[in-house]
Structure 1
């Protein structure tokens, strides 16, 4: 039975203008080296500059893989809960119904394109942003839509999901930073205690 292997990652660390920093370049190089051990067919990336650059760096380690843009991977809020958890209310302050509808349409396009089995065995890397990664993990686990909230991921942390016909998706790995030395881990998260 053919399996679609998706390797999801948030782009490397970026500056306030959305460009990769030196840390982000190093993170991208290291995750590319890790992925080089796999038979990667394609690297898909968001159209935003930080994801584009990260995908290109990764692609230097995967000479047989194509590197292409996928607009479904753009950064977006996939779902706004009807009943907001109080701790998330400031995040959604000013977020209107039109933006929420557009985000839900973007999330539907993302899952329709990538969260499904393929006709042939594939190994694909998706270089995207924290919210699309959270949405795809939530989808794979068949969790309620609001559960994407709080599923954060570090820059270039690796998540792996497998899709096969007739079975539920399999989440193999979530937010794995094993390819990063300690000084490059935990970027992209807020301040808090780290394991």
Structure 2
């Protein structure tokens, strides 16, 4: 049975210009240390600078020669703009201004994301494939929603902290498995929950 493991993580903490902060770099390094014992075949990242820098920082803890490459499908995007009947009232202002063309473009990226990554490994290749995807909160939410076969609008409300780890497993002939979501156990308390509004956390 060919198995594909996706290790999904949002980029590290970034400043208003989209560059990693010192906190973000440390978060990415700690994520790399956590992933170091795994047989990672490749690290893919969004083309945006905060994701690329995070990918290279974590790759410093992986074996020399581990490929680190950009994947256009991992770009930050709104994967699905729900219709009025699907939109929770609190989200209505967020989608104000998304025209039909912009919504369709985002959904095309979302479909290309799942087509490229949300499938079991090629049975003609290795029995297992382990890939790290450094991306953004919305693409992670879309991949999780897709794995659970939830309605398209259910990507809303699935949030990921900076460098939190989500793991999906794809096996031939079986439904996808969500084995971990938004796990921050590799981060000390002071580096957790960045990328979220300030509030009480457990």
| Bucket of the pairwise TM-score, normalised by the shorter protein | over 0.9
Cα distance in 2 for partners of 1:65, 1:144 equals: 36
How much does 1:193 deviate?
2.1
When the two chains are superposed, the root-mean-square deviation of aligned CA atoms in Å is 0.7
Cα distance in 1 for partners of 2:83, 2:98 equals: 12
Confirm whether residue 81 of structure 1 aligns to residue 82 of structure 2. Answer: yes
How much does 1:2 deviate?
1.6
Cα distance in 1 for partners of 2:21, 2:89 equals: 33
Cα distance in 2 for partners of 1:50, 1:106 equals: 19
Number of residue pairs matched by the alignment: 195
Q: Which shifted more, 84-93 or 135-144?
A: 84-93
Cα distance in 2 for partners of 1:192, 1:90 equals: 22
Structure 2 unaligned residues grouped into runs of 5+: none
Q: How does 1:175-186 map to 2 (within 5 A)?
A: 175-186=182-193
Tell me which residue corresponds to 1:128: 135
Tell me which residue corresponds to 2:66: 65
Deviation by residue 1:61-117 (Cα, 9 ceiling, x = unmatched): 112421011000000000011122110011111111111000100000000000001
Tell me which residue corresponds to 1:107: 110
Q: Secondary structure at the match of 2:187?
A: coil
Deviation by residue 1:118-164 (Cα, 9 ceiling, x = unmatched): 11310000000000000000001110000000100000000000001
Confirm whether residue 17 of structure 1 aligns to residue 5 of structure 2. Answer: no
Q: How does 1:1-195 map to 2 (within 5 A)?
A: 1-63=1-63, 64-83=65-84, 84-119=87-122, 120=126, 121-195=128-202
After TM superposition, the score normalised by the length of structure 2 is 0.95
Cα distance in 1 for partners of 2:14, 2:74 equals: 17
